[in-house]
Structures are given as C-alpha cells and as structure tokens.
Amino acid sequence: MVSSERHARFGLAAVAVVFLLAMGVLGSKALERRLDQANTAPDFSLREVDGRTISMASLQGKTVVLVFWCARGPVSNEYSQRIVRLANSYATDDRVAVLAIDSTVADMNPCALDELRVFKSVIGQNFPMLMDPGGEVAEQYDVQVTPTVLLIDNRGQFRYRGAFDDNQNETVVRKSYCADALASLLAERPIATTFTQAFGRPIRPPK
C-alpha cells in the first residue's frame, strides 16, 4: 500500500516537473518573441514637407538611417552638415535610405512647412524631412532628444541607437558611431558600438 502511494506521488511529481519544464520552454520562447518584436522598428506613416507620405513599410528591404532632429535645435544644426554628407555618400546606393523626422513641430501649418523647406534648402538636404506633430512617432521609438540616430537593417531590426558621433564639435570627433555602424552593417561585419547616449535638445519639456 505504501509502495503504491509512493509510486502515485512520484508519478504526480514527474508530471509536475514535465509540466514546469514545458512551461519554461514555452515561456522562454514567448519572451524571445517579445524581445524580437521589441527590436523591430514600428511602422509609421508621416508626411514629408513636399506633401509626400512615407512609411517604414515602404522601405522594406533597405537599411534605414533614421534621424530625429529639430530644425530650430542648436545641437541638430551643429550636426546638419555631417548628416547631409553621410546621406550624399550613399545617395546612389539603393540599399540605403536616409530619413529625418522633426518631432518638435506642433502642427502641419503652412508657416511651419515653409520654414522647414527653407531649412532643407539652406543645408542642401536631399533626403526626406518628415513631420511628426506632437511627437507620436518619437514616443513610439522611445526617442527623448534631438538629434538621435537610429540604424535599422533591411529586416527592420534596430542595429544602432544614439548619437551621430562622439562630439558636438566636429573638429575633435574621434568616433563616428553612425557612419561606422552603417559601413559595418553593409559589409556584413560586426558593429563595434550598437548604443550610445544621445545628447541634445529634449523633444518635450520636463514635466
């Protein structure tokens, strides 16, 4: 009788262990899927200053350099020519798309659009400037300051996030994070630095 009870308890314990192991495997798979989803760039659809609408989905298969910046931001302005030069160097490379998003605009009023068109012309920007009124896409991408650079590979996965390089003063730059990460990604080499702390103007004032 005692032996039967022991066998029964052992059987229940074995079932419990198998159940817990199965739940652990399923749980880890679910966690892996959540992490994969979190690492995937969310889709958006934003209007460019010339009236076009551009979405992340429309850039599927391309490596995307996504720059959140502010036309009126002093730090963004310090970086404008550097970003334009990077875009120009890949202008004929069909694998790469460069986009700028201004999440500091309050609305799509004609004056704001005119100001941004002038800004694009002055700095020689030949890539899209998208409007993100209210900063909804910035919030979706967890971007706090401008400029912030995100590098997204041709599968839609984040590969770099942070500052364009290591110094606002271009004459003393030692590490070109964005340019180096993009070159490594296209050459299928490991990216040395995948995250840095972006610095600049807050998109929203502190509460």
Beta strands in the chain (DSSP E): 45-48, 53-55, 63-68, 96-102, 129-131, 145-146, 148-152, 158-162, 201-202
Condensed to tens digits (0 to 9), the pLDDT of residues 4-36 reads 554 444 444 444 444 433 444 444 344 333 334
User: How many structural domains comprise the chain?
Assistant: 2
Residue 67 pLDDT > 60, yes or no? yes
Q: What is the dihedral of CA 7, 11, 14, 19, to 10 degrees?
A: -170
Are residue 194 and residue 119 in the same domain, yes or no? yes
Q: What is the pTM of this model?
A: 0.79
Asked if 158 and 110 sit in the same domain, the reply is yes
pLDDT at 135: 92
d(CA 22, CA 162): 39
Residues 17 and 61 in one domain: no
Whether residue 58 is found in the same domain as residue 85? yes
Length of the chain equals 207
Do both 179 and 103 map to the same domain?
A: yes
Q: For the residues 75-85, what does the mean pLDDT come to?
A: 95
> Whole domain around residue 113: which residue ranges?
45-202
Give tens-digit pLDDT for 83-120: 999 999 999 999 999 999 999 887 777 777 788 888 88
164 and 103 co-located in one domain:
yes
* Pair 52, 33 in one domain: no
Residue 181 falls within a domain, yes or no?
A: yes
Q: Residue 69: inside a domain, yes or no?
A: yes
Report which of 135, 154, 112, 149 is spatially closest to residue 44, judged by C-alpha positions: 135
Q: Are residues 10 and 89 in the same domain?
A: no
The answer as to whether 51 is a domain residue is: yes
Same domain, 68 and 147: yes
Q: Are residues 52 and 140 in the same domain?
A: yes
In a domain, 76, yes or no: yes
**CATH number of the domain that 141 lies in?**
3.40.30.10
Q: Are residues 96 and 154 in the same domain?
A: yes
Q: Which residues contact 185 (CB under 8 A, 6 or more apart)?
A: 63, 151, 153, 159, 191
pLDDT at 31: 35
112: in domain? yes
Q: Distance between CA atoms of 167 and 164, rounded to whole angstroms?
A: 9
137, pLDDT greater than 90:
yes
